[in-house]
A and B are shown apart, each in its own frame.
Chain A
């Protein structure tokens, strides 16, 4: 019997020139907007978080309203490491936070991935609420509603201090995002990634051809959990603060909006949605401190009506339309 050809995940698909664009933009952002680097770092972190959601939502088709559970786990792990245990080295803190979030993802995933549809959605939500309540109760460790005070980061590599302007934070987040992105890209292009797409498109058929559906989904969920945990830890480390908000339903909702805005199942959707959403939010809030939420609402309605597949989907439709005109 013939085995499906094994593809080395690291060799699949050389970078196309267009793929370099967001990285060029992010890199030049450092020089073009020196006063906006704090916001920039937070955008990069949300890109990473949205990309993590894309792994399960866009590729494996797992609709989750509780992705903040994993983000928050990472944030609190990194924060508590520094504030209570005195472990303030950023890179190792990041790795530990990612692993802890991975374990939480594995355990939660093992339970909730037996279900599908609405049940699954409710369970992801329930996990977040449970974790948030736990963090609220464990005031001694988390600071409860006042937030976790006393997170202090050592300089990166012992040299680069986390400054008020966010220069270190921005480059740190960008580097981490790039590394994680390369890994994620390799994963979704591997045969494992193919099987996830298969599951998303037709789960029964995947069962029929002998794919271990549950195991593949759990694997995807765990990988996404590690990514979300790393994103959360980045936020905790660069802002030197953790609030209960990292575990909130709103954060789960926000990240889903960003992903949908950009386009799901493309990895790059996150690169469009997160900056678009956050820059708009920033500018609108400045324009009108009282009524800025209205602007955000209007944008969402417009997106759902006119670009249900997100900005990348819209771009693809436009390109297809231009080609048709040409021929």
Chain B
């Protein structure tokens, strides 16, 4: 306590200076990049742009291209957000990061692949049967992912309840490898294609005359938003949701209220799994291809989103997902390209993790994270 107070009052250490330098450097990079972007949108042939692009004028983005980036960032971010919810919920309740959560998402995508192809063979993946077929597929994917998450909890994590939190964390990495390899064993290592969506879903449609979006992206954004709303309602408004929040704060007192803590933990995994399952099938419908490693990168990104938003905070997970998706899609062209970085789009993963670093440097609890007092976490 006293040490902490002294550290705050005393002069900065070298580490503090380094962190300050990092903050300033990253923020100025963003500021300069944005300035350069606006400058080259106004005048592609300005001196800075010519300097950074080897003497040539910069290429400006048209309004449609810009909107396209926003839409793709939003749909990507919505899926990150859905997955991030599962990380955040499990962290809230059990205090560890379930790194196998990305595989729950992948299982959803694979289930979608199987369902969609079976339905396609039977002729239900087109015409009037398409909508019920898709809804049915979403339902099945949700259930399969949910079951995967629940079984994972029962088999791998419950026996470890009460052990130091590093142990389930390491276990979750093992579980992740197990599921990935089980899928490779069952379906092979290659990419698996979804059947084509009907044309009306692939075509661009105008939204209020403002922006043209492919139908499928509208579906992704709408379904993700509905799912998030349903989750919010469940957690905030229902009896089980309240129990879940109570368990995440204080298991002992929650059980004193008569709450069945084990069942609530299972519910948490189930709900998180369901969200990941929905993300999985949306991913499949949008990109029409899944592979055993599909869960890895989106899983890591979603974890990043959860930390960016403030881990344990559900609203934060959703916001973090959208922020991450948006940054990935916009920053390469709005910050890096104007600075003359070549092949800026290759750096999207770097952008995502730089965003994480930036948030951790400036607000270590994440955008919406609450600073927990020591009493809370004792």
Partners in one complex: no
Q: Which residues of B contact A (CB under 8 A)?
A: none
Q: Which residues of A contact B (CB under 8 A)?
A: none
